[in-house]
Structures are given as structure tokens and as C-alpha cells.
Amino acid sequence: MASSKELNSALVLLCTFLFLKVLGLYISGRSLAFMQQIMEFTGHDWDSTTVYQLLNLSGVAFAEICFPIMGVALLAGCVSSLAQTGFLFTPEAIMPKLERINPLEGLKRIFSRRGLVELLKAIFKVGLSGYIAYAAIRSNLYIFPRLMDMAVPNAVAVVANLGSTIVLRVGLFLLVLAVADYIFQYTEHMKSLRMTKQEVKEEMREHEGDPQIKGRMRQRRRQFAMQRMMQQVPKADVVITNPTHFAVALKYELKKDKAPVLLAKGVDEIALRIRQIAEENDIIIYEDPPLAQTLYKTVEIGHAIPESLYEAVANVLAFVYRLRPWQMRSEM
């Protein structure tokens, strides 16, 4: 899955900043109260009871101040990761691997194309983030001399406001950069999923078989079909031709067939071969170009002729039987 670490960092930074912006007064008040409580221990004897109370106050203050911030950062990171990749449980990612501590493998990763992109991205990110902070401070330089005349709370508020402005601008910049990085990572991920032409051929070969083998099998089937068709030609009563481009062999058995059956057909070289077999077996060759073309185009091998061609074929068979009356008697 495509994912961007920059997007995680940007969202964590912005969410944490917005949380501090909204609850800043509470956190600063709680921090001030904790400092005041610590100051109360000044001058006390440092016995076990005092240390225990100090540790207890520190733990409570840490939980009230740091845990909410850490929780928001953790939640933002988890939501960002889930939005990009969904829920992925990969325990093998934390398993120790020797190549991770191999210096050569580390150098390969550093000087790889991805490593170069990450380096340029980091330089660009740090450089522009620094410039954004510098620009914000430069535009507010006039404030710093006045801080000496302000009360401490007011001075802290001014500095905090400037800091929040810098963080917000840097955070927005990082968010824009993170979106661009995610688009780049997604594009690279989709490219990595694309198969090469050779991989496509291999997959088609696995699913559909080797095209060369399939081609040879189709050729063999055509050869067998052609041989079977040519073996039927000597059984024909007549071969109707175009005279040379088309050839159709017909057979009619009065007691068996309702209509004449097409035994073989072909064009050009196949038609010539049908004529040669007919001549070798003393089968009458009848020239009728329109009828030969119509039979070739409308009747499949082994099928009876359609009713619309009965009359035309009957005239041909009548001609054949007049020339060879014994042929008709042998079929009755």
C-alpha cells in the first residue's frame, strides 16, 4: 500500500498544535500550579515522606499535562496511518533481520533512487521550514525590544503568539508537502504494481496456456478436419464448382436423407484439391457459379441444404442421374 511518513508527521504536528492552542490556558495553568507546589517544598527536610509527596505530585502533573498531548499525537498518527493503508498487522516487520545492520545494505539504501529522493525532500523541507520561521521572526523584530518593558505574563503571551504563528505556518507547509509526497508515493506504488510485457505474457501463458502450443494444436485440428473432409469427397454424387474458385461436394441418399448433404467445400487451393479428388474417383463436376457460391456461404459441412435450394440442387442431381442412371439405383 502507498503511504507517506511526511503526512503522518504533518498531521501529528498540526493536531498537537491545535490541541495546545485550544487547551493552552489549561496546560499553562496546570504547569504554573505544579511549579507553585514544587516551590512549597523549598526549605523542607528531604525525608522519605517529602520525596514520596514530590514524586506523587510530579506523576499527577505529568499525567495531566503530558498524557493528553501524547494521546492526541498518538491518535493523529494512528488515524493518518489507517487512512492511508488501512489496518495492517505485520509482525514480521519487527522481527530482527541481519541485513538491517549490514553496512553494505545500508549504503545501497542511502544511495538508491529512493534514498536520493528522501534526501532532497529532507533538505527542501528543513530549508523552507527554516525560511518560514525566519520570515515570521523578521517581520516581528520590532516586538523583541519592547519585551523588556512588559510584564512577564504579557511578554510570555507575545512570544507564545509568535511561536504559534510560526508553528501554524510550518505545519501548513508540511501538510502541503506531505500531500505532494503521498501523491508521489502512490504513483510509485502503482508503477511498481504494473507488469512488464514479459510478465503479462507469462501470466497469460499460465492461465490460458502457451500461445505457440495452442497455435500448433489449432493447426493440427484444422489439418485433421481437412483430412476428414477430403475423405468424404469420394462418397459425393456431384461436385459443383465456380468453376475454379469454389467447389462444393454433395451427397444424397434417398432412403436416409431428407435433403442432399454437403460433404465438403473449399475455395482456391482447397477447391482445386476437391476437384482433383473428384476426377480421381470419377465424380461428375458440374459448373454452376451462383449455386456453388451460395452453397459455400450458407451450408456448413455435414448439414443438409436449405429448402430454398431444393429446386436448384434437384436440377443438378437430375442431370447427374440422367448421365449415370445406375448411380441413382445404387442409392435407392
Residue 165 contacts residue 136 (beta carbons within 8 Å): yes
Asked if residues 235 and 219 have their Cβ atoms less than 8 Å apart, the reply is: no
Cβ burial of 238 (10 Å; 0-12, 13-18, 19+) is: buried
Domains of the chain in sequence order = 5-194 (no CATH), 231-330 (3.40.1690.10)
What is the arrangement of strands in the sheet containing 246-251, beginning at the earlier edge strand? 261-267, 246-251, 238-241, 284-287
Using CA atoms, how far apart are residues 86 and 39, in angstroms rounded to an integer?
49
Answer whether 36's CB lies under 8 Å from 197's CB. no
Q: What is the pLDDT of residue 76?
A: 81
Q: Specify the amino acid at residue 198.
A: Q
Show Cβ contacts of residue 164 under 8 Å, excluding neighbours closer than 6 positions.
Answer: 17, 21
Say if residues 276 and 283 touch (Cβ distance below 8 Å).
no
pLDDT at 101 (0 to 100) = 61
- In 3-state terms, the chain is what percent helix, strand and coil (to 5)? 75, 5, 20
Query: Cα(77)–Cα(141) distance, rounded to whole angstroms?
Result: 35
Per-residue pLDDT of the chain (332 residues; tens, 9 = 90+): 556 677 777 788 788 878 777 777 777 777 778 787 777 776 666 677 777 878 888 888 888 878 888 888 888 878 877 776 666 555 655 566 655 566 666 566 666 666 677 778 778 878 888 888 888 888 888 887 887 888 877 777 777 777 778 888 888 888 888 788 778 777 777 776 666 666 666 666 666 555 666 667 777 877 777 888 888 888 888 888 987 789 999 988 877 888 899 888 888 888 888 888 888 888 888 888 888 889 988 888 888 888 888 888 888 888 888 887 665 545 54
CA angle 241, 331, 266 (to 5 degrees): 25
The gap between the terminal CA atoms of the chain, to the nearest Å, is 78
State the DSSP H helix or E strand holding residue 51, giving kind and residue range, or none if neither: helix 48-85
Instruction: Provide the whole-model pTM.
Output: 0.44
By CB atoms closer than 10 A (0-12, 13-18, 19+), residue 274 is buried
Altogether, the residues listed in the chain come to a count of 332
